[in-house]
């Protein structure tokens, strides 16, 4: 298949489809971090530049996610940018491409476009991380979960940390608090539930990257949706 990974600079999803034997290209205004087939330029132009069998789109979430929307009332210019971001995402989801997956964090697309077809977590696909990701799908099935990664359990009473199996059944190993007072936390989270990535010039870019386990599931499960037979893996 000819697959466009739109608004991707990391190359992670592109390379997953390449390894599965597809002619996959990423596109972004930024250069690709992994050398490979990359269109450096406008996402809409790339979408219209050739016939694609599938598109995985990652529209920027700065003005769409719940974590950023609360600023809109304080800064009217952001509300305008949110409307532009919604129009951009809508254009990609309605593109004349047979198979489309659009991903974004939980935010206003759920009410302004429609509810997502699926919400996934990296820990459902072999990654020790929590990051709720919404998927809007066109002619694609929901992703099947893979290897589940168990969290550590943090007690809201004594702040103690317990293993998942013991804590989920018996409660806190440290103070005996009941299981309902324990909260699951994965490796990318602090015990309070915040993301461990501190403020930095690259924080938004780093958080936006697709986890390799999810990318692999996309390539493996969606790779034959256009009716193409299984093909040899690409090397080099």
Closest alpha carbon to 139 in 94, 105, 78: 94
What is the spatial distance between Cα 144 and Cα 80, in angstroms, rounded to a whole number? 37
What is the spatial distance between Cα 15 and Cα 120, in angstroms, rounded to a whole number? 21
pLDDT-derived band at 95, boundaries 50, 70, 90: very high
pLDDT-derived band at 198, boundaries 50, 70, 90: confident
Q: For 123-147, how does the pLDDT look when each residue is reduced to its tens digit (9 = 90+)?
A: 999 999 999 999 999 999 999 999 9
Looking at residue 121, what is its pLDDT? 97
Q: Please state, for a pLDDT cut of 90, what percent of the chain lies above it.
A: 66
Burial class (CB in 10 A: 0-12, 13-18, 19+), 23: middle
What is the spatial distance between Cα 23 and Cα 35, in angstroms, rounded to a whole number? 15
DSSP assignment string, 51-68: --SEEEE----TTTBHHH
Q: For 21-59, how does the pLDDT look when each residue is reduced to its tens digit (9 = 90+)?
A: 999 999 999 999 999 999 999 999 999 989 999 999 998
DSSP assignment string, 179-198: GGGEEEE-TTB-TTS-BSPP
pLDDT at 152 over 80: yes
Sorted by sequence, the CB contacts under 8 Å of residue 45 that are 6+ apart come out as: none
Stretch 163-179: mean pLDDT, rounded? 86
Domain ranges of the chain: 2-148+202-222, 152-185
- Topology of domain 2-148+202-222 in CATH is Rossmann fold (3.40.50)
């Amino acid at each position: 298949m000819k697959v466009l990974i739109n608004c991707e600079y990391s190359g992670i999803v592109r390379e997953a489809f390449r390894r599965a034997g597809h002619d996959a290209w990423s596109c972004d205004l930024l250069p690709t971090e992994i050398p490979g087939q990359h269109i450096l330029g406008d996402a809409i132009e790339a979408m219209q530049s050739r016939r694609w069998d599938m598109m995985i789109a990652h529209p920027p979430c700065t003005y769409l996610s719940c974590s950023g929307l609360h600023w809109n009332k304080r800064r009217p210019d952001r509300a305008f940018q949110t409307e532009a971001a919604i129009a951009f995402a809508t254009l990609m989801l309605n593109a004349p491409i047979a198979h489309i997956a659009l991903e974004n964090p939980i935010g206003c697309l759920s009410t302004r476009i429609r509810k997502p077809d699926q919400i996934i977590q990296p820990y459902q696909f072999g990654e020790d991380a929590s990051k709720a990701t919404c998927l809007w799908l066109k002619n694609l099935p929901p992703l099947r979960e893979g290897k589940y990664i168990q969290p550590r359990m943090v007690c809201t009473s004594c702040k103690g940390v317990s293993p998942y199996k013991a804590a989920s059944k018996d409660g806190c190993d440290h103070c005996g608090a009941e299981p309902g007072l324990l909260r699951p936390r994965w490796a990318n989270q602090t015990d309070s539930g915040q993301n461990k990535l501190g403020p930095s010039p690259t924080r938004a870019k780093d958080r936006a990257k697709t986890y390799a386990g999810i990318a692999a599931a996309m390539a493996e499960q969606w790779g034959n949706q256009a009716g193409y037979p299984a093909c040899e893996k690409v090397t080099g």
